[in-house]
């Protein structure tokens, strides 16, 4: 019987300016200036992240879906939040 494939993602740090997420062996900053939805989130909400697919992150308590590629290469995703 095949097992379930799981992809790990973990929020490792939250600062005044961003949150840091560990995906595989790479730590990526998610700046609040580009992703303001995280700025007012509680620690519990921000750290409750799942990775249902290899290139998909989901924060169920905040209803936020992000592509891993949009964090690694934001210049390729011009439709970003602008204050």
Q: For 3-51, where are the alpha helices, taking DSSP H only?
A: 43-47
Predicted confidence band of residue 66 (pLDDT cuts 50, 70, 90): very high
Q: Is residue 1 part of a domain?
A: no
Q: Which two tokens stand for residue 26?
A: 């790479």
Q: Is residue 2 part of a domain?
A: no
Which domain range does residue 68 map to?
A: 9-76
State the DSSP string of 13-73. EE-SSEEEEEETTEEEEEETTT-GGGTT--HHHHH--EEEETTEEEETTTTEEEEHHHHH-
The answer to whether the predicted template modeling score (pTM) of the entire model surpasses 0.85 is no
53-65: pLDDT as tens digits? 999 999 999 999 9
Q: Is residue 33 part of a domain?
A: yes
> What is the CATH number for 66?
3.30.2020.40
The domain tally of the chain equals 1
Q: Is residue 71 part of a domain?
A: yes
Q: Is residue 3 part of a domain?
A: no
Q: Is residue 18 part of a domain?
A: yes
């Amino acid at each position: 019987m095949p097992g379930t494939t799981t992809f790990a993602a973990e929020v490792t740090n939250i600062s005044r300016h961003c949150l840091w997420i560990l995906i595989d062996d790479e730590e990526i900053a998610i700046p609040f200036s580009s992703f303001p939805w995280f700025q007012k989130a509680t620690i519990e909400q921000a750290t409750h992240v799942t990775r249902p697919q290899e290139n998909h992150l989901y924060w169920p308590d905040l209803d936020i879906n992000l592509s891993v590629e949009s964090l690694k290469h934001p210049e390729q995703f011009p439709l970003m939040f602008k204050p």
